[in-house]
Homo-oligomer: A and B are copies of this chain.
Amino acid sequence: MGLIVQKFGGSSVADADKIRNVARIITETYRKGHNVVAVLSAQGDTTDDLIAKAAEINPHASKREMDMLLSTGEQISCSLCAMAIEAMGYPVVSLTGWQAGVRTNTGYSNARIKRIETERLLSELDKKCIVIVTGFQGINRYDDVTTLGRGGSDTSAVALAAALHADLCQIYTDVDGVYTADPRNVQGAKKLDEITFDEMLELATLGAQVLHNRSVEMAKRYNVNMEVISSFSGKPGTKVKEVVKNVEKTHVSGVAKDKDIARLALVGLQDTPGIAFKIFSLLAKEKVNVDIILQSIGRNDTKDISFTVHKGDKELAKRVLEDNKEYLGFDHIDVSDNIAKVSIVGAGMINNPGVAATMFEALYNAGVNINMISTSEIKVSVLVDISDTDRAVQVIHDKFFSEFGGGN
């Protein structure tokens, strides 16, 4: 008997039947003697519908009013879920972000949780109530509604689990757990029983899109045990924790791809000190996240700097750099979004220097050309042509995970 936080995403609460299914999962957990706090996203396309409504009235609406608007989505799904649980005869109460004491900073549309005032939550749990909390939202110090941006509901769930010292934070989704590669595209992809926070972080960053980074970072910081689990299958999911049992054995946990990137190359840069600092601080000021960076010697004492950004930031990044062409001193900018990132992740990798070589070998055998390489303690990423992406993932996965491959 303990406290379990369960998070259900938009597809898990998309219609009345799915809400009843969620209510069933919650009440089954409750019946086993656990306290349950459930965190819900807005139903299916609600958020998109609200965004369309706003765009019709004001395409440049303030983020403050957008948050006011969008936060209704979770309030609707939560009250409906509470009604479904009432119909099953269990004590339940739904709470908005402010009622649940979720206090954030003032960054509308992309707020960070600062603290959770748990008084109301604890008093409802003391009454043996099931508590349903709106994900993705809180209030700031002006008592204005804020939303948490991408992956917000996962973050809400982990923050609540941390604040309430929950025994487990279950992230219910439409997949069975974390796989060695995307099971929809890669033959032989296997579900992992356990994975470390760090591996999960790399996988999330790399486009595996099971959990959002922010939630995993927070779970790691507060040591919240997470589980990624299906809302529909009823099978055990993947546990995400600090240390997994068989870490010594695991060299590679998974293969991930990310097609949502673009590469910019500044060609013919004057080789002056601090040039990299200048470039990336300009981009940081515009909140453009830069991923892989490669610096190479060009012709005539110049050099080239290439880097990847999220595809959505491509134009912004280009404009920022063009606007500062004189200040930076380069010849021209090359932009390509015809590329994808393919990565392997594994906590055991650092002790196995052969892992990267094995990956490159697989790509070489398949005739996949590597554009850029980036490595960290627990991952190796390569940039390939976008048309090679799926094949690259498959051959790497075969190499590490098939019985006839070389890996584990």
With contacts A16-B57, A68-B94, A99-B144 taken as known, whether A62 is within 8 angstroms of B86 at the C-beta atoms is yes
- Classify the interface of chain A: helix, strand, loop or mixed: helix
The reply to whether B99 and A143 form a contact with Cβ atoms under 8 Å apart is yes
Please name all residues of chain B whose beta carbon is closer than 8 Å to the beta carbon of A296 when the two chains form the complex: none
| Complex-state Cα separation, A72 to B82, whole angstroms | 15
Residues in B neighbouring A94, C-beta threshold 8 A: 65, 68
A20 interfacial contact with B, CB 8 Å: yes
Do A62 and B83 have beta carbons less than 8 Å apart? yes
CB distance from A206 to the nearest CB of B (A): 36
Per-residue 0/1 for A316-351: is the Cβ within 8 Å of any B Cβ (1 yes, 0 no)? 000000000000000000000000000000000000
Assess the A75–B72 pair: CB atoms within 8 A.
yes
| Chain B residues, Cβ within 8 Å of A93 | 64
**For the complex formed by this chain, how many copies does it contain in all?**
2
- Number of A interface residues in the complex (CB < 8 A): 38
Whether, in the assembled complex, A115 has its beta carbon less than 8 Å from a beta carbon of chain B, the answer is no
Flag whether A297 is at the interface (Cβ < 8 A). no
A65–B82 CB distance below 8 A: yes
Interface hits, A17-69 → B, CB 8 Å: 19-20, 50, 53-54, 56-58, 60-62, 64-66, 68-69
Inter-chain contact B65/A19, CB cutoff 8 Å: no
A105 at the interface (CB under 8 A from B): no
CB–CB A86/B61 < 8 A: yes
Chain B CB within 8 A of A80 CB? yes
Per the bound structure, the CA–CA distance linking A99 and B99 in Å amounts to 12
A79 within 8 A of B: yes
- Give the CA-CA distance A131 to B93 in the complex, in Å: 31
Taking a contact as CB atoms closer than 8 A, the residue among B19, B53, B75, B98 that contacts A57 in the complex is B19
Judged by a CB distance under 8 angstroms, whether A78 is at the interface is yes
Interface centre among A50, A54, A76, A94 (most CB of B within 10 A): A76
13 further A-B contacts with Cβ under 8 Å, apart from A50-B76, A64-B93, A65-B82, are A16-B53, A19-B57, A53-B80, A54-B83, A57-B87, A58-B86, A58-B87, A60-B87, A65-B94, A69-B83, A71-B75, A72-B76, A99-B143
What residues of chain A have their CB less than 8 Å away from a CB belonging to chain B?
16, 19-20, 50, 53-54, 56-58, 60-62, 64-66, 68-69, 71-72, 75-76, 78-80, 82-84, 86-87, 93-94, 96, 98-99, 120, 143-145
